[in-house]
Structure 1
Amino acid sequence: MSLAYPVYFELLSGVAAGIINMVWVARLGGEAVAAVAVATNVENLLLGVILVAGSGTTVLVARARGARDHRAMRSAVRGGWALWAILTPLVAVGGYLCREPLARLVLGGGDSAALPLATDYFAIALPGIAVYFATNVVDGILKGLGDTRTPMRLAMLANGLILVLDPLLILGFDLGVRGAAIATVLGRTAALACGCVALHRNDVLRRTVTRPMSRARSLGTDARRTAATGLPMSADFVARMAGSLALVAVVARIGVDEVAAYGIATKATYVATMAFYSVRQAAAIHTAHLLGTGRDERRAIGRQALLLAGALGLAAALALLATAPWIMRAFGSGGEAAEAGALHLRCLGPYLMLLACYIALGGVFEAGGAAPALARITTCGVATQLALAYALSGSGLPGVCGAMAASMALQCAAVARMYRRTGPGTGTKAKRAVDVVSRGSSTGCPASRSRPPGAGAPNRERG
């Protein structure tokens, strides 16, 4: 819980930044709102790209911290920044050059009045994605070091600056949607600067980076190792995001009011799902750190994550059951859309409870090296969800909710089978997870040089 709650408020701050922009841009008209809304959705998808570096760095740094292996930690940090240097130009420069076709694509084609506004927003936001990506790498390093509070404070700092700069730039200097993009980039730049200061002041990291550098050609090895660790986590996130977007097309077969209700309900459930993802990150950090020390506690951490996430899922389900109509009114919805949305929220309870357990337990598998299998389960589950939703869409939104719950039940069954096979002495996967650090970093340095004598030996014996 101590690791998870700062992550939760950090994720909430990310959503709040988009809400702040939307509130001030709404004064410019519906076209401006549409432009910023679609641009924000694109940014959420791009988050999956940098998760390769951020998540991979978190796991590898946490393992190295547990093993007290400075070379492995330096390798993990260098790998994260190397991936940032590779991915950022592709997204920032490529996105800027293709900003108008991208705006046309996300707006559904045509020559609507929102097209030039979205293009203007992309012209600033996409080059500024370099700052967003760098902040994610900084957060990943800090979380791997066991510090989840500093990323939370950095996110709140960025939001505070956006809250001040939005009215000044959007209305005061009459920059419109470009002012919203500039305010967002400036707020994140200030947070990034403070994050770099926090990294510089970290004693563990300072001892790591001041040691002699290894050969330059190992930088590619560092980047590949970080990518191999983070790519399955990124794929899992992107698959779930893409499935949520694709489900809109299925809901559209039911009616326009149902599409509006589904969209509002999805945003309302973010408050719950972000809590699940915070537990997932905490479980990944804790598991990776203990594996680095030679202790395979995945089953125990998995039980703790399931207990905490299950309680959060049950609380979310009960809250939606009791407050669904008021939630729809809070989003400004009325009439048939509000009724459909309230029904949808009340039917989401079983899905949310299953989703909470699946997401939280995923953190244990990510840290233990089983993330590729988890990504495959998620991808198959999303495909199954879409097929079931299409078949049950004749029953309206309750049928869609039933499809979501059934698909998630299948994914939970697959993950439960994986979970039963984890733990000390339960096979080669457990041994590989514990011995990752023992084999050393990309430089070939054994972890035993920086670990107390005999640490981790009992687990290797059982393996």
Structure 2
Amino acid sequence: MLPRLRARLPLLGTVWRLSLPVIVSNLLISLVNVVDIFMVGRLGPLEIAAVGMATSVRMLVLIGIMSVTAGSIALAAQAYGARDARALSHVARQSLSLTVLLALLLSVVGWLLAEPLLRILNSGGDPQAAALGAAYLRILFLGTVLLALNLVINSLMQGAGDTVTPLYITAGANVLNILFNYLFMFGPGPLPALGVAGAAVGTLIARFIASVIGLVILYSGRNPVHILPGSYRPDWGMFRDILAIGVPSGLQGVARNGAQVFLLGIVTSTAAGTYGAAALAIGLQIESLAFMPGLAISVAATSLVGQALGSWDPEEARRRGDTAIVLGVLVMSLAAVPIFALAPQILHLFDPSAHPTVIAAGTSYLRINALFLPLLAVAMVTNGTLRGAGDTRPGLVGTVIGRCLIVVPLAHLLALTLDFGVVGVWWALCVGTTIQALWVALRWRGTRWQGVALRKTALYRRHLGGLSERVQRRFLQEVRTPLMACLGASEAVEEAGVRYTLPEGRGAAFVRFREGTFEVAEGREHLPHPSSAAAPKRPKAAAYAHD
């Protein structure tokens, strides 16, 4: 056990180095949200209510954009792992094209529905709050393209293993966001004081600058993602691949947030009432800080697993994924200790004047959920490993089963029927976390995700898809795996076949596909044995079963 752990230490360091900038980026985003609320608070309670309601509606937009970013990071990682600069550039261009089209659609829908949605959310409240929120939202919806571009550019870089540049972009955007928000909200000097609308204008300008900087970097050739000359015309096959990976990730957020609404209703029906709802809200805010390392390690896992599969090394992909899961469990287990030990003190820190019921319910929430943070780490990071393979449906299914089909009815049974109160809801949440973790872990322990990754490649779409499974396995084991194992080798899919270029001028190999089989037309000497030999035994990590 000790030698195995010692052998994993360099990889643990790699995962952590990729994760740390993502953690800092998330902290900066949280910080700018806090500063925004602080500045809006200087305007008055109606303005705070308006921004709060508008933020709930904006979450729907972010879920839509995630349908692109989740697919982009996975496909960018695989193209980068294949060392195919043209494929990576194509993924980048198509991700940007799809982002613009989707963002324009969301802008139009959001503009039309902003006021009706806020009226529903503000039912019984001051109509002025809905009006202020609608004005704020409509300005933001005008800049949906900018927000979406900013997010997808960061995702492309993260997929290629660069998490530092997105950190710099995020840090710069957040500083500008705070600066412009202040200028346009309060109007010092000759500038007009736009109030809540000024916060939206400031955010828009900051996102515009960040998007321009991101695009300049992608075109500069100084980033692992380099956009080469080519067309932005929609490639519907690539769009389908991006959305096939991303839409389940987006729907996960819908299922999770939808279940949360039902749970809130159950909590307020217990003896704790609205105090229980307050405890849940504060508990989720505190817990979100513990989530940050897990989410960051999940992003690193997506990048590392995707890159290993791009160079077609499933065993290395599994080793990287396992290491990321171990690191996630270790980090979130450490985070659980102070949360469990200092739960009442942490709650008082967030709400010094909290009601005793809020403190009691919040303490039980934090302590019960702290016990299950390691399992939550398994669920979160394993989702990231599977995302690297483009296999996002198991995460969605696990969320629907765990959160919607198990947690909600179990919470009702424990909290209301059996009269355990809010503690019953907390335990139901932990049961759901356990089910989600087991579901995705079982998928990761198998090999079906390798087949999912293979079917997302241009190589499969153009050539391997027409071959039998036996011939596919033979090609992968005899040709692709040994050639891509050469450090610096690259793969380029062409109309007639696939070309492998070896590093340091060592030559190249070209494989042609026809009549249900393949032949090595050039570079046979680079293979460990002739491809015409009898088909070898099936490799233990290569069961490419179809879903």
Same fold (TM over 0.5): yes
The alpha-carbon distance between structure 1 residues 119 and 460, as it changes in their structure 2 partners (threshold 3 A), is farther
Aligned to 2:76: 61
Alignment of 1:210-249 (within 5 A): 210=229, 213=231, 216=233, 219-249=235-265
> Does the CA contact (< 8 Å) of 1:351 and 1:404 recur in 2?
no
Per the alignment, residue 196 of structure 1 pairs with 215
- 1:130 aligned partner: 145
Q: In 2 relative to 1, CA 72–161 (structure 1 residues): closer, same or farther, beyond 3 Å? A: same
Question: Structure 1 CA distance, aligned partners of 2:124 and 2:73?
Answer: 39
Q: Name the CA distance, whole Å, in 2 between partners of 1:103 and 1:61.
A: 37
1:22 deviation in Å?
0.5
Query: How far did residue 448 of structure 1 move?
Result: 4.1
**In 2: Cα distance, 1:161 partner to 1:85 partner:** 23
Contact 2:219 2:227 in 1 (8 A): no
**Residues 28-67 of structure 1 mapped to structure 2, 5 A cutoff:** 28-67=43-82
For the pair 1:282 / 2:300, whether they are aligned, the reply is yes
- 2:190 is the alignment partner of 1:175: no
Give yes or no for contact 1:162–1:187 (8 Å, CA) kept in 2.
Answer: yes
Question: 2:277 is matched by which residue type in structure 1?
Answer: V
Instruction: Give the aligned partner of residue 393 of structure 2.
Output: 372
Measured at CA, do residues 106 and 274 of structure 1 come closer, stay the same or move farther in structure 2, by a change above 3 Å?
farther
Matched, 1:349 2:376: no
Partner of 1:334: 354
* Counterpart Cα distance in 1 of 2:79 and 2:538: 21
Q: What do the CA deviations read for 1:391-443 (whole angstroms, capped 9, x no partner)? A: 22232332211101111112222223222213xxxxx6535535754716779
- Compute the displacement of 1:116 (Å): 1.3
Shift of 1:258: 0.8
Q: Larger C-alpha radius of gyration, 1 or 2?
A: 2
Deviation at 1:163, TM superposition (A): 2.2
What letter matches 2:347 in structure 1?
M
Unaligned runs of 5+ in 1: 423-427
Higher RCO, 1 vs 2 (CA within 8 Å, ≥6 residues apart): 1
Within 1, Cα distance between the matches of 2:385 and 2:152? Answer: 21
The CA distance in 1 between the partners of 2:537 and 2:222, in whole Å, is 30
Q: Which structure has greater strand proportion? A: 2
Which residue of structure 2 lines up, in the alignment, with residue 309 of structure 1? Answer: 328
The Cα offsets for residues 22-58 of structure 1, whole Å up to 9 and x where unpaired, read as 0011122222111111212222332111111111111
Please list, as runs of the form range in 1=range in 2, the aligned pairs for 1:89-128 lying within 5 A after superposition: 89-108=104-123, 111-128=126-143
Match of 1:318 in 2: 337
> What residue number does 1:445 align with?
494
Indicate which of 417, 421, 425 corresponds to 1:400.
Answer: 425
Task: Choose the corresponding residue for 2:413, options 391, 414, 417.
Answer: 391
The two structures have a TM-score, normalised by structure 2, of 0.77
What is the match of residue 31 of structure 2? 16
Q: Distance in 2 between the 1:375 and 1:87 partners?
A: 21
Q: Which amino acid letter does the alignment assign opposite residue 359 of structure 1? A: M
- Amino acid of the residue matched to residue 195 of structure 1? G
**C-alpha displacement of 1:110:** 5.4
Aligned residue in 1 for 2:522: none
* 1:132-184 Cα shifts (integer Å, max 9, x gaps): 11111111211122111111111111211122233332223432111111122
Deviation at 1:213, TM superposition (A): 4.8
* Residue type at the aligned position of 1:97: L
Q: Distance in 2 between matches of 1:168 and 1:442?
A: 54
Give the letter for the 2:153 counterpart.
Answer: V
Q: Is the 8 A contact 1:239 1:379 kept in 2?
A: yes
Distance across 1 between alignment mates of 2:237 and 2:182: 46
Instruction: Classify the secondary structure of the residue corresponding to 1:209.
Output: coil
Preserved contact between residue 67 and residue 451 of structure 1 (Cα < 8 Å): no
User: Which secondary structure does the structure 2 equivalent of 1:294 belong to?
Assistant: coil
**SS of equivalent residue, structure 1 residue 334:** coil
Quick check: 1:70 aligned with 2:85? yes
The 8 Å contact of residues 78 and 222 in structure 1, kept in 2 or not, is answered as no
Letter in 2 for 1:334: A
- Greater alpha carbon shift after TM alignment, 236-245 vs 257-266: 236-245
Shift of 1:455: 8.9
For the structure 1 residues 158 and 326, does the alpha-carbon distance in structure 2 shift closer, same or farther, using more than 3 Å as the test?
farther
Identify unmatched segments of 5+ residues in structure 2: 1-15, 464-492, 503-508, 510-525, 543-547
Structure 2 matches for 1:261-272, cutoff 5 A?
A: 261-272=279-290
**What secondary structure does 2:58 align onto?**
helix
Is the contact between residue 181 and residue 199 of structure 2 (CA under 8 Å) also seen in structure 1? yes
Instruction: Determine the C-alpha separation between the residues in 1 that align with 2:48 and 2:128.
Output: 11
8 A contact 2:332–2:373 mirrored in 1: yes
* Distance in structure 1 (CA, Å) of the matches to 2:389 and 2:461: 16
The reply on whether 1:362 has 2:380 as its aligned counterpart is no
Percent sequence identity is: 28
Between the aligned partners of 1:104 and 1:455, the Cα distance in structure 2 is 67
Measured after TM superposition, the shift of residue 111 of structure 1 is: 4.8
Contact 2:156–2:225 (8 Å) recurs in 1? no
Q: Using the TM superposition, name which of 194-203 and 56-65 deviates more.
A: 194-203
1:442, 1:326 → 2: CA distance?
60
**Larger proportion of helix:** 1
Structure 1 residue 17 displacement after superposition? 2.3
Q: In 2 relative to 1, CA 460–359 (structure 1 residues): closer, same or farther, beyond 3 Å? A: farther
The two structures have a TM-score, normalised by structure 1, of 0.90
Alpha carbons 1:158, 1:191 under 8 Å: kept? yes
| Structure 1 counterpart of 2:450 | 430
Distance 1:115 1:429 in 2: 46
Cα separation, partners in 2 of 1:38 and 1:155, compared to 1, 3 Å: same
Listed as ranges, the matches of 1:120-159 within 5 Å are 120-159=135-174
Q: Which residue of 2 aligns with 1:425?
A: none
| Residue range with higher mean Cα deviation, 85-94 or 321-330 | 321-330
Aligned residues: 455
